[in-house]
Amino acid sequence: MSEASAPHAADRRELTAAQRNAVAELLRVSPVADELGRRFVRAGHELHLVGGSVRDALLGRLGDDLDFCTDAHPDETLRILKGWAESIWETGREFGTIGAQRDGLRLEVTTFRAESYDQVSRNPVVVYGTSLDEDLKRRDFTINAMAVSLPEHRFTDPHGGLDDLSAKVIRTPSTPGESFGDDPLRMLRAARFAAQLRFAVHPDVHRAMTEMAADLDRITAERIRDEFTKLLCGADPITGLRLLVDTGLAERFLPELTGLKLEIDEHAQHKDVYEHTLTVVSNAVSHEDDGCDFVLRMAALLHDVGKPATKAVGSDGRVSFHHHEVVGARLTKARMKAMRYPKEITAKVTALVALHLRFYGYGRGEWTDSAVRRYVADAGDLLPRLHKLTRSDCTTRNRRKAAQLAADYDALEDRIARIAAEEDLARVRPDLDGNAIMELLGVPPGPVVGRAWKHLKELRLEHGPLDRDAAEVELLRWARAEGLVD
């Protein structure tokens, strides 16, 4: 570190503490890492712990996934690993990466790289580099451009990553324009690291993200999806989401989020629906039981995306968004499909968006037991998440109103529990199965059985469970009305 870039005295104490943490973390894995380093040295090659592994070690949170770089090419790396690693995989071989497992640690060893984009294609062109310095310079951010050489534990930090780690700032090794020009996904990664680490982006990085946002169009939907998922699952997703909107990046792949910024909330409790949405996401995070619940967070983010299309101003000046949950569910499904999310994840998020308003009105005493059964049946396995989303959506600053909404939802959950205990509400189904329907009506498998089953389920939802005799009477009554029996 040059004298000009040396930190203040107070920072030296902080960095020394950070380095002590790093040493402790590295010692935890060093028997494996050092042993691997010695194998590479004996084979005439270098091995360095790099990237997120060094960053996380300095933060005192090194995990069990370790990243290394080397001058050895993949074939040579394979020869070094064989007979030592417990298992080996080559799924990243085209990018110069060989994976291995040893003593519970997942190791990825990548040949020095000097990859770049041709400014047109969507995928990087991988060119092997020749030195550690060249490899570190091509990395996305300075906090990921540090290395620990093995087995001697020599620390290399040519771009001031340690200073930036202490200052909690995200900066690029080369100019932001060069870095983002090589890989535009790095702009989204900057927002992701801001969310994960609670760091701020350097003003030059923020400026480049704004000026080059359109370059994100060169990146495949799958790569954008994966980075966005990590961002939303970060410790502070709100910071990351604000960066996406403020820089214009959200407009490139999630324009519905930016669109919310223009819509005024009907209760005037926030300056716009965008701010309300960010509050709901923050609330949803606080309601999680253990780790990130992506489905819940995504539903919180998209629950009001139908408002811009349904905005109406009444004669009294009040703003309304009638049926925005229906429109929002349709928009959610389309957007998540465009982002290449799996169908099952998309279906869950879409269902939560469609259901998020169902609760309102319960406090007016309008719900029968039938309505409660339908609420549970429509939510299905999503009911626990729907509970959390509905509670997260209560962002009113009126304390009395907030307390009343919370009490109403407490009452609904208590009512659900009571009815569930009486009726096995978690598995609402007809009182006669398909075999019983076919036997009683004398019909073969086919559409008639499906229609009869649906009719009996509606009765079950409306009136609760029926005994066998009563269910058979109702089925025959329906069959006669349908002209199926005399």
Are residue 219 and residue 189 in the same domain, yes or no?
yes
Are residue 175 and residue 145 in the same domain, yes or no?
no
Residue 284, pLDDT score: 96
In a domain, 465, yes or no: yes
Residue 261, pLDDT score: 83
Q: Are 262 and 308 in contact (CB under 8 A)?
A: yes
120 DSSP 8-state letter: S
Q: Are 164 and 193 in contact (CB under 8 A)?
A: no
Are residue 16 and residue 155 in the same domain, yes or no?
yes
On whether the pTM is more than 0.75, the answer is yes
Are residue 318 and residue 447 in the same domain, yes or no?
no
Q: What is the CA radius of gyration of the chain?
A: 29
In a domain, 279, yes or no: no
CA angle 376, 380, 381 (to 5 degrees): 130
**What is the domain count for the chain?**
4
Write the DSSP assignment of 153-169 as a string of letters: TEEE-TT-HHHHHHHTE
Separation between Cα atoms, residue 483 and residue 474, nearest integer Å: 14
Are residue 452 and residue 336 in the same domain, yes or no?
no
Write the DSSP assignment of 169-237 as a string of letters: EE--SS-HHHHHHH-THHHHHHHHHHHHH-PEEPHHHHHHHHHTGGGGGGS-HHHHHHHHHHHHTSS-H
Burial of residue 222 (number of CB atoms within 10 Å: 0-12, 13-18, 19+): exposed
> Which residues have C-beta within 8 Å of that of residue 340, sequence separation ≥ 6?
221, 222, 225
Q: What are the beta bridge partners of residue 170?
A: 201
Q: Given 404, 427, 450, which residue is the final one in a domain?
A: 427
Q: How many CB atoms lie within 10 A of CB 312?
A: 10
In a domain, 273, yes or no: no
Return the closest-CA partner of residue 341 out of 299, 292, 395.
299
Return the closest-CA partner of residue 196 out of 98, 317, 55.
55
pLDDT band at 8; cut points 50, 70, 90: very low
Are residue 244 and residue 341 in the same domain, yes or no?
no
More confident residue, 443 or 245: 245
Separation between Cα atoms, residue 254 and residue 244, nearest integer Å: 9
Mind listing the pLDDT tens digit for each residue in 167-177? 999 999 999 99
Separation between Cα atoms, residue 144 and residue 170, nearest integer Å: 10
More confident residue, 446 or 19: 446
Are residue 410 and residue 450 in the same domain, yes or no?
no
In a domain, 1, yes or no: no
pLDDT score of 160 more than 90: yes
Mind listing the pLDDT tens digit for each residue in 112-148? 987 555 555 545 567 888 899 999 998 999 999 999 9
Please state the rounded mean pLDDT for residues 64-79.
Answer: 95
Q: Are 402 and 409 in contact (CB under 8 A)?
A: no
What is the edge-to-edge ordering of all strands in the sheet holding 105-111?
A: 87-89, 97-102, 105-111, 65-70, 47-50, 147-149, 154-156
Residue 10, pLDDT score: 36
Helix (H) or strand (E) holding 95: none
Q: Are 211 and 245 in contact (CB under 8 A)?
A: no
240 HSE (CA, 13 A, CB side): 26
Are residue 62 and residue 145 in the same domain, yes or no?
yes
Write the DSSP assignment of 303-355 as a string of letters: TTTTHHHH-EE-TTS-EE-TTHHHHHHHHHHHHHHHTT--HHHHHHHHHHHHH
Helix (H) or strand (E) holding 8: none
Mind listing the pLDDT tens digit for each residue in 306-353? 998 877 777 776 777 777 889 999 999 999 999 999 999 999 999 999
> Which residues have C-beta within 8 Å of that of residue 403, sequence separation ≥ 6?
none
CATH of the domain at 63: 3.30.460.10
Mind listing the pLDDT tens digit for each residue in 395-422? 877 788 778 788 888 888 888 888 777 6
